[in-house]
Structure 1
Amino acid sequence: MRGGLRRGRTVDRATGRAARGPGPVAYTRAGRHASCHRPTRAGPGGPADPERAPRTPGPGAGGTPPPTPGGACRGYHGDVASDPTDPDLARWLDHLRAERAASPHTLRAYAGDLGSLSDFLAERGRSLSTATLADLRAWLGRQGRGRRRPAPATLARRIAATRSFYRWMWRTGRIDADPAARLRAPRAPRRAPRFLEIDEAAAVVEHPTQDGWFALRNRALLELLYGAGIRVGEAAAVRVEDLDLDRRLVRVHGKGGKERIVPFGPPAADALRAWLEARGAGGGALFLNKHRTPLSTRSMWRIVRDAGARVGVPDTHPHALRHSCATHMLAGGADLRGIQEQLGHASLSTTQRYTHVDAAHLLRVYRAAHPRAAAPPPPDDDREPG
């Protein structure tokens, strides 16, 4: 791993400077993270699953993401817009990519959202540059009808994309007034993140499917996802040179083009050493498929799902391991700022979701800290009556 790493700091790749934020990550080296140390247990047996290559390479796997259906710039692939029907939309997407460091997922979603709006406006004899507030509301109203009504979170994303696009159009002088300024997104329900119990998470990461080379790779992947709490896309982007096994740190390329240094525990370090020995020398992507090309995020999802199904924890996905990392750290006494830095959340409000999960931890903190939460002292039986 490259020298000069500073633990628990966020680095902006665009400027090369450390971003302002919380201090070192609340982490101990006793286990996978602050509260996940546990004894190793023998696992259930089971037939090895054959290696199954993904049908379509996912982001971070060296493949080109599939085009987003619908609308102008529907073939946007992150670097260029293929066959753009609206030049302003293409320039805005390039602005998001170059100056805002938007991820390919965000670019494809926004291109599809604004492409759908462009198609709707064309039916009304208008374009993106001539749309009015009434046009935008009519477009959103059409999406709210029928059986395929979008979820509140999806509708909120489309409104956010529309507001961002027209704000940029107004600031760059392409339109005289912002028609989307008065659009308001619906309040999306906040769901408590799904997480595994500590013994469930241990069973999943310790008993991957497949045999030999693949089993070592899958074990290392599962340990890193849970032990470091990184996103599946971040795991797909990890390179061999990003690892520092002696200090148990990994350099992670997160959202918005930012980098951060994340710790992991001894079980993950042992699994990664075993995998690197089997993988062989050479740099590049840390996790490889049977063709020795970067493992796709789709394959990573399948590895996590199959490991969960093998030990009786169905429907397990990479984000459940990430949620479990945060929840178990909170239960072990880590503060929210430390968890925020570990997970790479831009806002503390995102990390605060985990306070709704571990109610028992909050109850312990309340009883220990609040002056009126303690039980009253028992009566003194030795007092004289009077």
Structure 2
Amino acid sequence: MKLSQRIEAIEGSKTARFIPLMAELRQKGRQVISLAIGEPEFDTPDPVIEATKRALDRQATRYSEIPGLPVLREALAERFEGAGAQNIVVFNGSKQALHTIFQAICDPGDEVILPIPCWVSFTEQVKMAGGRPVLVPTRDHQLDVDAMAAAITGRTRVILINSPNNPTGALYPRKDLERIARLAVRHDLILVADEAYDFFVYDGAVCTSLYDLAEIRDRVIVTRSFSKHYAMTGFRLGYAVAPIPVANAMIRLHSHTTGNVCTFAQYGALAALSMDETLLVQRRAELERKRDLAVAQIADVFPCVRPQGAFYLFPNVSGHLKPGETSGDFAARILEQTGVAVVPGEDFGLDGYVRICFAAPETQLLEAFKRIREVL
């Protein structure tokens, strides 16, 4: 059966590439430690669970408003100066939000500038919208604004910024975001900001959002997620903050795909927004401690830029590659020899590196790094 050119042009999510091999090793009785999936080990907070249960008890199981419950959109808008509920659209995770954004703003042939390494879905979502990803290397995982400026052509439509970054954990400073903002104004570009990890910043650092730059809010679209911040990955809840014309366009598309997001899950999200953040701050401090532990564990094995955000290390493994070996080959070799799963850097557009998620139980982290050191 012939498939569409559109679907043939994209690849499946590469972060799942080793799941079959992990399953095979487990069937053989091997103890596999996965440091590949970007998911915190924490339980979903009790207030979220209880609010979701109450919503189910009162039969909040029917269709709701396509852009999201009004009360949830209003609560989200309060977090963005000058925004109202009409600027907010709730989605089935920020992944769906980003897909919808590109469908709404890209025409065939439009170019989208993506600093690399970047999250695996960005390139494929751009291609699904008919756009062309333009990959611009970073320097020590920080933005190379001059290179980004040089990449702009008459077909450039969008610059996408992901800070804190997945896979590197890099946090981009305000001065660089201000330079990007000036580029956007000069060339009449749209700025898309994926801020799924905005809560997870360390060392007392401040996460600057492109939305904080008030003078460019008419060209900024921000996506955020409940998944990481509130340990609600299975709820599949994210949202976008956008100028009203873009928000309305996304709602139109949303109406023909999933319609509304799970109604009772949205009440759980509403409870998350109003809960005491003491627990969340404690969890962030725990992740910062694990970041320090992980960096110390690999310091004598791989060169690694210390991340200031998210919950990933992105070490350089090129010194351990065999002749002709890619980071994908390296990750497969490590998994087979040690039972530890990591994600190859080539999946994010930068070979010679791997992504390691340190949001795992401490005992697993220590055991994983011990196995890797023994093999290397």
Is TM > 0.5 for Structure 1 vs Structure 2?
no
TM-score relative to the length of structure 1: 0.24
Structure number with higher strand proportion: 2
Structure ID, larger Rg: 1
